[in-house]
Every structure is written in C-alpha cells, then in structure tokens.
Amino acid sequence: MTVLSPFSAGPVRAVLVVHGGAGTILRKHLTARLEAEYLAALEASLRAGYNALQSSPGTAMDGVEAAVRFLEDCPLFNSGRGSVFTHDGRIEMDAAVMDGETGRAGAVTGVTTVRNPVTLARAVLEQSPFVMLAGRGAEEFATFAGTERAAPEYFRTEERWNQLQNQLRRESEESAPLMSLSEDNKFGTVGAVAVDARGTVAAATSTGGMTNKRYGRIGDSPVIGAGTWAENATCAVSATGHGEFFIRHAAAHDIAARMAYGGRTVAEAAHEVIQDKLRAAGGEGGVIAIDAQGNAVLPFNTAGMYRGYITHDGIPFVSIYPD
C-alpha cells in the first residue's frame, strides 16, 4: 500500500492524488505500449491538476477538477469520453465533487451530453442550492450553468462497444445472472483528491458506470459519503470499485469517521475500510485519500489500480500494480 507522508511539520504545501480505476488489471492484459499510454495519461492528469493548484488562487477544488477533466477527456478511462455502455447501448455518466472547507458538495447522475460531468457537478455545488441532480434535470441545469456539451457520439469508443457486446453474448450463452461481473471486469472510475496551500482538501469522482447496467443503476461515485467525501478536519476521499459495496458501507465517510471518532490516521482508516471491512463483505476496489497535512494513501484490494500523486517538487509518480 502506497503511503505518502511528505510533510510532518511546517507549512502545508499542495499535494494532488489521482486514480483511474481499480479491478482485474493484469500485466498479461496490457501490452507494454498500452501500459505506457495509461501511465502517461495519469502523469498528464497530475500535471494538469498541479498546474491548477499552483495558479492563483490555486484551490484544492481547482486541482481536482482539472485533474479529473483531463481523465474524462482521455478515452482510456471509463469516464466522459470512453465511458462504458448500458444494456440499451447508451452512455450515462455520473460525477461528484466536495469541498472540505465548507462541507458543500455537488453531484450529477445519468447525464448523456455533458462533456465534463465533473465540471457540471462543481456547478451544482457553486450555482445551486442542491446537492444531486439526475438525468434530464441535470442536463437542463447544464444549459443554465453554461457547461460545455457534446453529442452522444463524442463519448463512444469501439473498445467500450465491444465490451458491451461481449457481456451480452456471455449472458446469452451462459444464462449469466443480471449484471454479473466478468473475470476481466475493471471498475472504471476516475478521481482526484488534493490539499492546497491553505490546508483545504477537496475530492472529485467521475464515472461511466458499469458495463451492461440496467434500470438506471447508480453506483457510488456520485453518492456523497460512499464514493466521494471531503472535510478539512479529517480527509478527502475518492473511491473506485464495486459501487454497491461502497454505498452499503458508506466507505468514503467511514474512513473520515474512523479518523474523527477513533483517532486513526488517514492511512490506518483507509486500510481498515478497504483491506478489512470491504474485503470481508466481498467488496472489491480501492480509494485515494488525503488529509489536511498532505498525508496521503492509495490502498486497493484488487489486482491493480491506476494511480499516482504529485507533491511540492512537481514530479509525478504513477503506478498500476501493487508495490
């Protein structure tokens, strides 16, 4: 488990952590070229977020939004462009942000024409009295907020379409249970957490959901306290994994609660939730979490998680497989 504790004393300095999803990510499934592309994209995301952190005023919210926007624009990841398809052949996207200083949050779910759902989630936080908007209403709000739109075709990639066809074929041939997880399933969510120079933390999470999902299924990413959480007194968290488990166990908030009421460090709390509690319940995935002092942790209980961090030296570190 990667634990980042760069600043034990002195002034707080900006730190940014990102993830690009966790799951059955095996070396045999990634060519050297594709692995390099993933690592380069994670590095670019970190640089985009770090540049936003270094700009004036350089808030944690600016950093996490910029980092996640880059990942949403990259077709390698299951968010924004490159999102997976539903059972009906549609793309429906979810996102959430939370500000650790104010406790305010914004989330959207089931949007289909918003180029960067994370930016719309931030607009919900900043331009509305609400927390979560869904479907058509969220799209209407995007028009009000002036959020950039894109035609459904923009988000489509052949790889994601083929993944849906494979799932549909498997269901037909094997009479697989509804929305069963295939052995090559990747929990495709992207996210970022950051602390800025003022000691404010923020979190952002964005996803295309689960391949072959039906009936308007919503995972943990846009659910505040499940897949996204931020408060200065404890930590900021962005999760990736089998969303139903993260929702049932309020995983992101549970990490913060263990810090607030149990005196755990961010590393201890995240380990207990991901490696002990969720694993015992059968939940797979991981989180990135950071506290207001810049201590960060990136635990996961799957074969891999696309992840990385950048600190005051401006040099990104990225990885996919366990340490």
- The residues annotated with a catalytic role in the active site are 189
The span from the CA of 20 to the CA of 278, in Å, is: 20
At 193, give phi and psi (nearest 5°): -130, 150
The span from the CA of 126 to the CA of 109, in Å, is: 17
Count the Cβ atoms, other than its own, within 10 Å of residue 35.
15
The span from the CA of 78 to the CA of 80, in Å, is: 7
Read off the tokens for 178.
Answer: 């509804």
Count the Cβ atoms, other than its own, within 10 Å of residue 244.
16
Task: Give the side-chain half-sphere CA count within 13 A for 221.
Answer: 35
The span from the CA of 78 to the CA of 231, in Å, is: 26
Read off the tokens for 278.
Answer: 């969720």
